[in-house]
Amino acid sequence: MDTARLTSPHFIAGVALLVATLALLFAVRNPALRRRLRLTLGVAAAAVGAHLVLVGGALPEGYVGNIFSIEKLLLTLGAIQVVITLLFHQWFSDHATERAPGIVQGALIISVFLLVVTLVFPEQLLAASAVGAVVVGFALQDTLGNFFAGLALQIDRPFKPGHWIEVGPFQGRVTEITWRATKIQTKTGNLVIVPNNIVGKEAITNYSEPQSPTRLFVEVGTGYQIPPNQVREAIIVALSRCPRVLETPAPDVMLMEFGGSAINFRARFWVQDFEHDERARDEVRTAIYYEFHRREIEIPWPIQVEYSRTEVPRDPIAEHRRNEQQIAAVPIFAGLAPDVHAAMAAAARTRLYGQGDIVVREGDPGGSMFLVTDGTVVISVGPERREVAVTETGGYFGEMSLLTGDARSATVSARRDSTLLEISAEAFGAHVRSQPSVLDALAGAAATRRAELNAVKSAPGATPAAGHASLLARMRKFFRLA
């Protein structure tokens, strides 16, 4: 054993690097820094191990020089790595923070290492390194291409982990950018690993930059018989009912083309997070369908081939009779004559609301009431939408807005798909003005109903129920009979 080598500067430097790295591992808290220090610890241990092999003295003379050179290379690499690692990390942070991406740090370590090797080590080693570099370069063309493409991505920063991007056919959230590939998690939950050289060649769409809100589009066609401005109004109302659609920036509607079977419109709206784009589009399409149905705006069938369209025939007489019976069953209308019930049924309009649709909002102007033909609606009050009542098939709401024009006193939304019968104050007023005497019976029933609703709401500051005489006076004024 060559004990003299145990006191050589190289051995002392290797042990010092090993001890210093161990001390740093115990001192720092940054997880990213600790990971890199563990790698440095391995390099230092390898350098010390190489020196101990030399101390053993059992190697042929031709191998001693090579192992000595390897020891110096490992010491150089370890020293460079620990210095750069300490420079680019926050030592005492509890989080994995880095001042520069890991791939940039790795490239810097390799660059400094190659520079030191070129300036310090003998020509024989340089010649061997040059030959090895050529061989490795040919063998690792794709790997090196991925490395440099990844380095360019880290420097240019077209996207970051957490961003929603589209690269070629792949769309998803970036989870990690390594020296070899970019990892993307798709909306289906799959992890797609795209080599960096492919990412560098493709056009990149970043849905998270330059700002978080993202604009989406939904297209819909309508018949030529409906004026475009009426369609725009209906779509804007539908968009206002969708919780994921932002109010600011405001949505808008564009007429895109006069198609073969429809006028095609594009609804443009903003969402806060692109992650929910499919759900947002679903909400918008659903809201548009129900709003069109309520306004009797047809979404045409595509005209591609000749077809025979068979529809279930409507029975308007039976439908009118059902509406008349439902109106007669409402307590506030029970005292009206059958001919008034029939006239109200003829003027009423059927409205279809989807699950979650807002029928009326608290504070909005009034002017009609609704009867629940089929379905369930929820009545809520206050900004927090506190639920105070549930109205099932056969129930009704909004009678005070019909009779006095009061603003809506509560928000009503559909708990499931619901068909409602809407009676407007305009149509009802025509019959009231022809028979003013009916107002007295209506006022009594409405006052009782108002008292019941206020008792159910039991909210602080609820409006006291108006008396029979006061309510009758307001009704006469609203219908211009005073």
Q: Mean per-residue pLDDT for 214-234?
A: 92
| Other CB atoms within 10 Å distance of the CB of residue 5 | 16
For residue 261, what pLDDT is reported? 85
464 pLDDT more than 50: no
Same domain, 467 and 432: yes
For residue 282, what pLDDT is reported? 95
The pLDDT tens digits of the residues spanning 35-47 come to 777 777 777 777 7
Instruction: Please give the Cα distance from 425 to 403 (Å, whole number).
Output: 7
Which CATH number goes with the domain that contains 328?
2.60.120.10
The pLDDT tens digits of the residues spanning 424-445 come to 888 777 777 766 666 766 766 6
For residue 462, what pLDDT is reported? 47
Q: Which helix (H) or strand (E) holds 125?
A: helix 123-139
Report yes or no on 269 lying in a domain: yes
The domain boundary, picked from 112, 139, 166, lies at 139
Which CATH number goes with the domain that contains 164?
2.30.30.60
Report yes or no on 235 lying in a domain: yes
pTM over 0.75: no
The residues that bridge with 387 in the sheet, in sequence order, are 380
What average pLDDT is seen over the chain?
Answer: 78
For residue 262, what pLDDT is reported? 92
For residue 152, what pLDDT is reported? 73
pLDDT band, very low/low/confident/very high, at 100 (cuts 50, 70, 90): low
What are the C-alpha distances in Å from 372 to residues 192, 213, 408? Answer: 50, 38, 17
Which CATH number goes with the domain that contains 270?
3.30.70.100
The pLDDT tens digits of the residues spanning 102-132 come to 666 776 777 777 777 777 665 545 554 554 5
For residue 135, what pLDDT is reported? 45
Q: Which helix (H) or strand (E) holds 45?
A: helix 31-56
Same domain, 50 and 125: yes
Same domain, 471 and 335: yes
Instruction: Please give the Cα distance from 416 to 212 (Å, whole number).
Output: 33
Same domain, 399 and 290: no
Same domain, 116 and 163: no
Q: Which residue has the higher pLDDT, 296 or 23?
A: 296
Instruction: Please give the Cα distance from 149 to 158 (Å, whole number).
Output: 12
The pLDDT tens digits of the residues spanning 255-288 come to 999 988 899 999 999 998 888 899 999 999 999 9
Same domain, 346 and 471: yes
Asked if 446 and 402 count as a contact pair (C-beta separation under 8 A), the reply is: no
**Among residues of the chain, what percentage have pLDDT more than 70?**
70
For residue 303, what pLDDT is reported? 66
The pLDDT tens digits of the residues spanning 153-162 come to 767 778 888 8
Same domain, 197 and 121: no
Domain range spanning residue 284? 214-295
Same domain, 119 and 94: yes
Structure tokens at 228: 């475009």
Same domain, 456 and 332: yes
The pLDDT tens digits of the residues spanning 50-72 come to 767 666 655 556 555 666 677 77
Highest mean pLDDT among 180-184, 258-262, 280-284, 451-455: 280-284
For residue 79, what pLDDT is reported? 80
Instruction: Please give the Cα distance from 222 to 267 (Å, whole number).
Output: 13
Q: If DSSP states are collapsed to H, E and C, what string results for 163-229?
A: CEEEECCEEEEEEEECCCEEEEECCCCCEEEEEHHHHHHCCEEECCCCCCCEEEEEEEEECCCCCHH
Instruction: Please give the Cα distance from 323 to 421 (Å, whole number).
Output: 8
Q: Which residue has the higher pLDDT, 400 or 132?
A: 400
- What total of structural domains would you count in the chain? 4
Report yes or no on 147 lying in a domain: no
Report yes or no on 248 lying in a domain: yes
Same domain, 185 and 218: no
For residue 64, what pLDDT is reported? 59
Same domain, 233 and 170: no
Instruction: Please give the Cα distance from 11 to 72 (Å, whole number).
Output: 10
Asked if 431 and 344 count as a contact pair (C-beta separation under 8 A), the reply is: yes
Tell me how long the chain is.
Answer: 482
Asked if 63 and 91 count as a contact pair (C-beta separation under 8 A), the reply is: no
Same domain, 403 and 350: yes
The pLDDT tens digits of the residues spanning 293-335 come to 999 999 988 766 565 666 667 788 888 899 999 988 888 787 7
Highest mean pLDDT among 376-380, 464-468, 475-479: 376-380
